[in-house]
Amino acid sequence: MSKAKGTSVIRETSKGARNLILGLFASLVAMAGIFVYLGQQAGYDRERIGYTSEQQVLSQRIAKSALAASSGEEKAFNDLAAYRSQFVATLDRLRNGNPESGLPPIVEEDPLNAELSVLEGEWKKFDAAVNTVLEGKETILFLSEAVEAIQTQMGGLIDASQSVVDALVAKKASPRLIAIASRQLMLAQRIVNNVSNVLTGTGGEEATEQFAADVEEFGTVLDGLIRGSGDIPKIKDKKVQAKLFDGSMQFKIVADYVGEILDNAEDILAVQEAAKEAAGISDAVYVASTRLRDAIAAAAAARPVKVEFAYALGALALFFLIMLGWTLKREADRR
């Protein structure tokens, strides 16, 4: 009877040890599972935050490149296209996930969807302005070439105009004729200044209109000084005429370029306005990216599964281990 009772106690003790082993194993598996889950989620958070940080930098670079491109910098167009592609790639990975890293997409039910949708809305407006700038590349690069040619030719015209004024003063021409020639010198300098404004978009449509008016007046007066007109007396001195004729040849090149600029003025202004619009919207895109980054951090903090749970399971596993040791020792003593 006593022997049977001892056997029953040993069996109960062995059963208790098995339960403790199962509890220990379950605790360790659960603890490991939590650490793996939290590590995976932390990796996803870092990747998403990395994308938003990249977007903040790209939004500023895109705005800067758009302004530079609209001012005729060819390299800026290439940079603008590259930055735009990079931004689109980061936005796509945020929305649709990244198969390479296992990053899941952000779906409508996701708490991050609201902030991501705001970012997508701001980017849509931003991208439209950027697209206008990129589509105007050919027009803007022609404008840059035209402005450079005009500035080169006008430099010669300014020198020629100064020579005409000096010659008229030396020959004691009439004050009215000297005044007309002096105004040509002033107009030439103003044309140089205004053509730079046309390239940079400074002054908008008014600058273009003033530029066109100055060029037209310069050409009219130059023609009058060479051939004579109702309001402008013809200069008869052969040396001065020769200077005026040389100037008219240079001005013809200027006039041809000016005509091309005016023909494309509407497209040029559209590109310049789009670049300014992009610069303005870039701040909204930056803010939207910042809010999405903050939302990612907040969502991570609000997850129900926390690292403390893993620590608690670790403590529970230690408890099971201690109890298992005590149980096994007691079983050994009874045997």
CATH code of residue 218: 1.20.1440
According to the model, what pLDDT value does residue 194 have? 84
Average pLDDT over residues 133-154: 91
According to the model, what pLDDT value does residue 222 have? 87
Percentage of residues in the chain with pLDDT exceeding 70? 85
According to the model, what pLDDT value does residue 5 have? 47
Average pLDDT over residues 302-331: 68
Q: Which residues pair with 98 in a beta bridge?
A: 103
- Do residues 220 and 248 touch, judged by C-beta distance below 8 A? no
* Pair (259, 281) in one structural domain: no
Name the pLDDT band for 75 (thresholds 50, 70, 90).
Answer: very high
Average pLDDT over residues 45-50: 93
Average pLDDT over residues 270-284: 94
For residue 119, give its domain range.
Answer: 2-135+273-334
pLDDT 10s digits, 197-247? 887 777 778 888 888 898 898 888 888 888 887 778 788 878 888 888 888
* Pair (188, 282) in one structural domain: no
* Pair (109, 175) in one structural domain: no
* Pair (87, 69) in one structural domain: yes
Q: Which residues pair with 103 in a beta bridge?
A: 98
Q: How much is the pTM?
A: 0.76
Q: What is the CATH number of the domain that holds 14?
A: 1.20.1330
Domain assignment present for 92: yes
Domain assignment present for 303: yes
> How many CA atoms lie less than 13 Å away from 63 in the CB half-sphere?
19
Cα separations in angstroms, 123 against 49, 85, 90, 268, 277: 17, 12, 12, 23, 12
Least confident segment among 125-134, 221-230, 299-308 = 299-308
In the listed set 234, 263, 292, which residue is the last one of a domain according to the structure? Answer: 263
* Pair (192, 256) in one structural domain: yes
In 103-112, which positions are buried (b, 16+ CB within 10 angstroms) versus exposed (e)? Answer: beebeeeeeb
Residues 6 or more apart in contact with residue 251 via CB below 8 angstroms:
153, 157, 218, 219, 222
- Residues 57 and 125: their CA atoms lie apart, in Å, by 18
* Pair (240, 307) in one structural domain: no
Name the pLDDT band for 1 (thresholds 50, 70, 90).
Answer: very low
- Do residues 112 and 299 touch, judged by C-beta distance below 8 A? yes
> What is the chain's alpha carbon radius of gyration, rounded to the nearest angstrom?
40
Domain assignment present for 124: yes
Q: How many domains does the chain have?
A: 2
Most distant CA atoms of the chain, gap in Å: 149
